[in-house]
Structure formats: C-alpha cells, structure tokens
Amino acid sequence: MTSSNPNSITSDIQLRLQQLRHAMREHGIDAYLIPSADPHLSEYLPERWQGRQHYSGFTGSVGTLIVTADFAGLWVDSRYWAQAEQQLAGTGIQMMKIPTAAATLHLDWLATNLRADQVVGVDGAVLGLANARALESALEAQGIRLTTEYDLLEQVWLDRPSLPEASIYQHAAPFATVSRSEKIARLRQQLAEKKANCHFISTVDDIAWLFNLRGADVSYNPVFVAHALITLESATLFIVLPKIPAELAAALVEDGITLKPYEQAASALASLANDACLLIDPRRITLGFKQAIPAQVRIIEAINPTVLSKSIKSADEAQFVRDAMAQDGAALCEFFSWFEENLGKQAITELTLDQQITAARARQPHFICASFGTIAGYNANGAMPHYRATPESHASISGDGLLLIDSGGQYLNGTTDITRVAAVGTVSAEQKRDFTLVLKGMIALSRMQFPRGTYSSVLDTAARAPIWAEGINYGHGTGHGVGYFLNVHEGPQSISCMAIPDQHMVMQAGMITSNEPGIYRPGKWGVRIENLMLCVPAISTEFGEYLKFETLTLCPIDSRCLDLALLREDELNWLNDYHAIVLQRLTPHVSGKALDWLQKRTIAIEK
C-alpha cells in the first residue's frame, strides 16, 4: 500500500471551514448545511457544486455536511464509513454514521443541538423541495429558524469552478429508437391526462432522454446541465447556449424547441400565466425553483412522467443493450486473460487494473467512456463497497486473496455495470464460503418469478436470505435501475429493503436493474457479484400475470472461489447454464488468448 502525507489537505480543510464560519457570523447563521446536491439534484455533481467535498475533503458521492461555530459533522451511510474515517482524519470534522443514504438523522441532530431562535442556513438553489419540507418541519417544531437565501459558498469559495462547458451532441438513430418529437408528444399527452398544461424538469438524465441529447458535464454520465419547461404548445430548453453546435441548434429549433440561456429558467417560471397548471416533482425540483412560481399558478405534484417512461426500455433498446453486453463481455475476457497471464510476472496495482479494463473497453465499438470510476479493491480494500484507488493510496496485487472489480462502460447502445471477484493465489476456506453465499443470493434473485405489481423493494429479501441464514448482512441495496446510455444509477425502481416503497417502485417489464449482493469483512476482504437483469414477462395463470428476469451481463464467474459443498444442484445447474450462454454469446467476439480464457473459465462444473 502506498499513501501520501495528508497534512496539507487537512490544513486546507481547516482554513476553508474558518472562512465559512466567518461568513456565517456575517449573516447571523448558527448552522450551515451543505448537501451533496446541485440545482438539478444530481447524484454525481459538476465541479461547481461539489461544495461538500471542497469543505470536508470527503470524496464519496453521498454525504451531508453541517458546520456550526464549534462543530463540523459529516453524515454518511455504511458504504462510506471506512472511507470517511480516513479522509476526515485531522480535519476536525466528525463522522456521523447513518444506516442508509435516505436517513434523516442530521435533521434530528439540528433539532436537538440548536436552541430556539437560532438560525440554520442552506442554499435553497440546491435544496430539494421534499428535503426542504422535512427540514423546515423538524426545525419549526423546536422554534429554530431556517434561511435559504444565502449561497455562502459563492462568497467564500474564491476559485469556485464555473459552469461546465463541454459540447452537447445528439444521441441519434439507430440507437435512439424514438424521436424527440415523439417523446415530447407523449409527455404532453401525459400532462393532459393529469389536467396539467405545463411541466418543469430539472433532472439532467430526464432532459437528456427527452431531447435525445447527450453531454459530458458530469463524469461518467453522458448528461449536461439544463432545465426544461414543457407546455402543451411549446418546449423550452434552458442551457449554456455556446455548448450547442450550430447544426444541432438548428435541428432543435426545427423540432419546435426554443433555446434560452441557462440562467433564465427561474424567471421563466416566475412569468407563468395565472391560469397555468404546472406539474412539478417535489423529489426532483429544488426549493429555489418552487419559490419562483407565482402564487396564482395551480400546482400538481407528481413524479416526472419521464422518470417512468425512460425506465421502461423498448424491445429495440433491449436488443441494443444485449449487443452492448456482448461487447462489454468481450472486453472483460480480454482484460481477465491479460490479468491472469501477467499476474506474478509484472507489477500490477489496483491502478493498473483500472487502466487496462478501460483500455479493453475502448477497443470495442460504440464505446464512449466508463460508466463510473472503477472500483478495484484487493483484499482489505475490497471490503469498502465504494473504494477508489488513487495514486496516493492503492494496493499491489500479489500474494493470496480476493480481488474485487466493479466497473462499467457507456456505449452508444447501452450502459453496463458488472462486479466480479477473482482469485489471487490461494483462496481460503472462509473466503470461498463468503463468495459462495453471495453467489447463492445472486442466483436466488436471478431466478425470481413474481406477480405483476410487485414492489421492487420486496425482491431484496430473495438475495439476502442465503446470507441472512448465516447471520451475515450487507449495508447497501441489492439492485438499482440502469439507464440506456444514461446514468448508471436510475430510478424509480430500487431492489433494497432499506427503500421506502411507493407506487412508482413497482417492477415493470422493460426495466433494467442490477443484482449485486455482497459480504464485507472490514480489514480482510470483500465479495460482491453483480449482473444486470432485464425484467420480462413470464407466465399468465388464473392468479394473474407474472414477471421474471433475463440476465444481460455476459462474463464468467470465477469457480476457483467456490465452496461446492454449499451449492445445491439447482444452483450449480444455473451457474453451468449461465456459463454455457456466456460461452455461446461471447465466442464470436473474442479470439486468441481471450478466447482461450473464456473457454477455460466456462467449463461445466461437477461436484
């Protein structure tokens, strides 16, 4: 393991907190809240809105920072506890453990630790409306005041990055299987059905999907910052205008889309006519935009229709995704054959793995970029679910143990996300046991058949049952939705017992989700096995219609890590059948050493 001296980083954080506290005193703010959010409530943020990272040093994707005159705390869930402990060391910021990313324990802390008439500040431009209501309710009960008018980061972050400037491009046919005009027409029909005549959208993946546009404003997700206002007669895209090439701008105008500067979105809302009936999604719009809406405008609160529409892939899109999975599987065969051939012959680190796997994908057709930062964790590093190797801190691959690699690619014809664990040297009996338990859970969910109308969260227990049976658990969800050349994390479905079910989390045919149970032994090793699955129709009986999953991901599972005594015959048959499909589908796409590796790793297993 290599690492650097963190003293310069921690001193920078301490200085930034001093400057923030000075600004708080100027504005009479007793506690300032910095969420992991931007005006679009994105999961992954452009640099301009990475204030929580800038003022804490914590680089995880989720966390809430609260700063008072004599306290600073970062609320993070179990996926990030080990990472936060390392990155917060010496900063004076206390790690506050929460069970899940959706937990609201920071609200309880504010209500308990502040006095009546004290003031909590947060920038309303990045505070989600639903979160704002929960925050206001918790504070009002204790007589604590909330102010949302100050963006203190703009005042004290002197070298704050500007708006991203990457060019926007069209996601074109054949991979864009439905035109933007058709999508907008369908959205207008959905608005009319809800008795609304206009709709404001801020979520960047919804906008990219609706307009068949892609960008590079956020690492790994092909999206761009923009807002949209759709009425029954017009469609306006608020965007940084120089980002759109002239030819594309002309095509958008020809399709009836008006282009306006990004910063005019709020004033457009403020100018809505009194007879407007506006649909907004309180989970996908900020308080700042809600406050811009005139009081006379009637508001309908409902989920963005685009969230549901883009989550259900068409038959054409599903076929393109199958093709992308074959390309991705071929790249992984190339990578793993290289890895096994060179292990012990040359120096290989977790950073090397990231470089090699990205290079292998880049040689495939239609590849754009990785779909997230590769997680390559050897032994103890694999026990951190969201671990990321850096030049300053990473492990070399040598000796005995387990190597966990979670990676994915963005292709014009689909988005991939896969986790495999590879044997390095001798795998212990305890490691094989954990690996096999995780595989049992993954197989159980893969084979699920369930009635149409089943909430996605209910399915989580299928994957956990074999792991729970041994008194073991894991702290993350089992499955997330995946976009179509869009965000690798997509809703509304979530296969997680920690998710709060709502009517929009029902599994539907056409949805793509991950299947990724795990076991993590802090300081020792981690196991996670992940495939993507397509929800498809199964059977129809007198009890109703049923759905099931089609496994999309194509890559062998390392049988060297198995404890065969723990696998039932039907589970072993599933694995052998899966490997037979992988061999059949990938053989036309690989040759030479990659083909040799594929054939060796898909040999049928016998007890």
Model confidence pLDDT, tens digit, residues 81-110: 888 888 999 999 999 998 876 677 899 999
Is residue 578 scored above 80 in pLDDT?
Answer: yes
- In CATH, the number for domain 7-156 is 3.40.350.10
**What is the tens place of the pLDDT at every residue in 147-160?**
999 999 999 999 99
Give the gyration radius of the chain's Cα atoms: 25
Write phi, then psi, for 145 (nearest 5 degrees). Answer: -90, 150
Range 312-601: architecture per CATH: Alpha-Beta Complex (3.90)
**Predicted pLDDT of residue 8:** 60
Distance CA 401, CA 343 (A): 13
Q: Is the pLDDT of residue 498 over 90?
A: no
Strand-pair category, 418-424 with 401-407:
antiparallel
The average pLDDT across 16-35 equals 96
| Topology agreement, domain 169-309 and domain 312-601 | no
Alpha helices in 343-380 (DSSP H): 350-362
For residue 7, name the pLDDT band (cuts at 50, 70, 90): low
Residue type, 224: F
User: Rounded to the nearest 10 degrees, what angle do helices 129-140 and 105-113 cross at?
Assistant: 30
- Provide the residue ranges of all domains of the chain, joining segments of one domain with +: 7-156, 169-309, 312-601
* Integer CA distances (angstroms), 290 to 36, 270, 302, 435, in order: 19, 10, 14, 48
Strands 72-77 and 94-98: parallel
Helix (H, G, I), strand (E, B) or coil at 439: helix
3 confidence band (pLDDT: 50, 70, 90) = very low
Percentage helix, strand, coil for the chain under 3-state DSSP, each rounded to 5 = 40, 25, 35
Three-state secondary structure call for residue 186: helix
Q: What is the pLDDT of residues 263-316, one digit of tens each?
A: 999 999 999 999 999 999 999 999 999 999 999 999 999 999 999 999 999 999
Residue partners of 93: CB distance under 8 A and separation at least 6: 13, 17, 56, 57, 58, 65, 72, 73, 74
**How long is the chain?**
607
Please report the DSSP string for 100-118 in residue order. Answer: STT--HHHHHHHHHSPTT-
For 234, half-sphere exposure in the C-beta direction (CA atoms, 13 angstrom radius) is 10
The CATH classification of domain 169-309, taken from the options 3.40.190.10, 3.40.50.1820, 3.40.350.10, 3.40.50.2300? 3.40.350.10
Structure tokens of 144?
């604590």
Which pLDDT tens digit goes with each residue over 390-411? Answer: 888 899 999 999 999 999 999 9
Task: Give the pLDDT of residue 234.
Answer: 96
E strands in 302-381: 367-370, 375-378
Is pLDDT of 455 > 80? yes
* Residue where the block lists tokens 């009986």: 541
pLDDT score of 70 more than 70 = yes
| Residue 561: band (very low, low, confident or very high) from pLDDT cuts 50, 70, 90 | very high
In whole angstroms, what is the distance from residue 237 CA to residue 208 CA?
A: 11
Report whether pLDDT(2) > 50: no
Q: What is the pLDDT of residue 1?
A: 43
Output the CA angle 190-320-243, nearest 5 degrees.
65
Q: What are phi and psi of 239, to 5 degrees?
A: -150, 160
Rama region for 143: left / alpha / beta (φ>0; ψ in -120 to 50; rest): left
**487: nearest Cα among 168, 224, 201:** 224
Q: Say whether pTM exceeds 0.75.
A: yes
Say which range, 99-108, 493-502, 533-542, has the weakest mean pLDDT: 99-108
Instruction: Give the mean pLDDT of 488-499.
Output: 91
Q: What confidence tier does 521 reach under pLDDT thresholds 50, 70, 90?
A: very high
Indicate the burial class of 310 (C-beta count within 10 angstroms; 0-12, 13-18, 19 or more).
buried
- CA 210 to CA 491: how far, in whole Å? 15
Phi and psi angles of residue 575, each rounded to the nearest 5 degrees, phi first: -65, -45
